[in-house]
Chain A
Amino acid sequence: MGVLRSIVQNVIGLIVDDGLVVLGAIVALLVTWLLTSIGPDIPHLLIGVILFLLVAVSLLASLLRAARDAHRHAVEPPGDAA
């Protein structure tokens, strides 16, 4: 049972490390879908660039949050560290 639970957790963990990145990537894909659906005249290269930029923003946002958390841990008094 423990092995099975580990496998399920690992399968989810394959793609979900930080929910913010996953959410950002999904939003980026939805925007791409919208652009290809409602704007057939939009150059395809531009749509690809927009997809990349939205993914880039979600990654940087996740890194910023990690930096903020790390900074918070770094300024804690040594006795408060987990």
Chain B
Amino acid sequence: MTLVIAAIPAFIGSLVEFVEAYTIVLAIGVTRGWRAPLLGAAAAVVTLGVLVAIFGVTLVNVIDEHLFELVVGTLLLLFGLKWIRKAILRYAGIVAIHDEELIFQREVAELKAQGQSLDRFDWIGFLASYKAMLLEGLEVAFIVIALGAAGTDELLAATIGASAAFVVVGALGAVIRAPLSRVPENTLKFTVGVMLCTFGVFWAAEGFGVEWPGEALALFPIFGAFVLLSWMGVRMLNLLVPGGRTVARRTV
């Protein structure tokens, strides 16, 4: 159960974020050489590891159980709602689907325009890569800390899930050497969003002293309710804005 609750959402959520970071690192590597962007990405991973270690361990060891459930539940709920909302808007065509190929082309064009210094260390490539990995990775760190804050086992499971996603994206990227545009990012983000909202409602309510009937088994109907709610949301938007796809094309 620990593995299911912490590792799987951490893996899926991290996969999406690492795919987005990989696209930018790839663009930098292709246009400016690989040494600086790889070092930048590695430095960002170390920074994220430190953040997870500090905040994760603090949450696990210091905060009272009910307060922890309330804080983490609230954060998970808000974070999950953000992901569900965006995924629903994308399913309805109101917001454009994330296009890794397009983002890659834009990054390459921007980086080429900045020129390159061949005789010195490429700080532009290093910082661009560090920033991309750090910004995308912050969401990973947040997911790992929130899902892992229930205890040491959970923190370990969430960290393993996120690390596995990093390895999978890195391995795929090393083989393919092109944007991972076939990864169904919106579906993955939607799935994680529903999971985070489910845990968020469950833990926030427990933080207020609510005892769910069936305890952890209550997660399943809550999950189902969020899936149903999202389906209703997409249907509602399709009825209200039948030209949603046109809007998305114009807002890219």
CB distance from B233 to the nearest CB of A (A): 5
Q: Is the CB of A51 within 8 A of B201?
A: yes
In the complex, which of the residues B74, B85, B247 contacts A21, with contact meaning CB atoms closer than 8 Å?
A: B85
In the complex, which of the residues B74, B77, B134, B201 contacts A48, with contact meaning CB atoms closer than 8 Å?
A: B201
- Cβ contacts under 8 Å, A48 to chain B: 201, 205, 210, 212, 218, 222
Q: Which secondary structure dominates chain A's binding surface? A: helix
Q: Is the CB of B237 within 8 A of A22?
A: no
B175 located at the interface, meaning its Cβ lies under 8 Å from any Cβ of chain A in the complex:
no
Q: Is the CB of A62 within 8 A of B243?
A: no
Q: Which secondary structure dominates chain B's binding surface? A: helix
Q: Count B-side interface residues using an 8 Å CB cutoff.
A: 48
In the complex, which of the residues A44, A63, A73 contacts B233, with contact meaning CB atoms closer than 8 Å?
A: A63
Bound form: Cα–Cα A15–B138 in Å: 12
In the complex, which of the residues B75, B89, B197, B246 contacts A15, with contact meaning CB atoms closer than 8 Å?
A: B75
B142 located at the interface, meaning its Cβ lies under 8 Å from any Cβ of chain A in the complex:
yes
In the complex, which of the residues B134, B211, B233, B244 contacts A59, with contact meaning CB atoms closer than 8 Å?
A: B233
Q: Is the CB of A14 within 8 A of B138?
A: yes
Instruction: Using CB atoms, name the residue of chain B closest to A63.
Output: B233
Bound form: Cα–Cα A29–B246 in Å: 37
CB distance from A15 to the nearest CB of B (A): 4
Instruction: Using CB atoms, name the residue of chain B closest to A2.
Output: B131
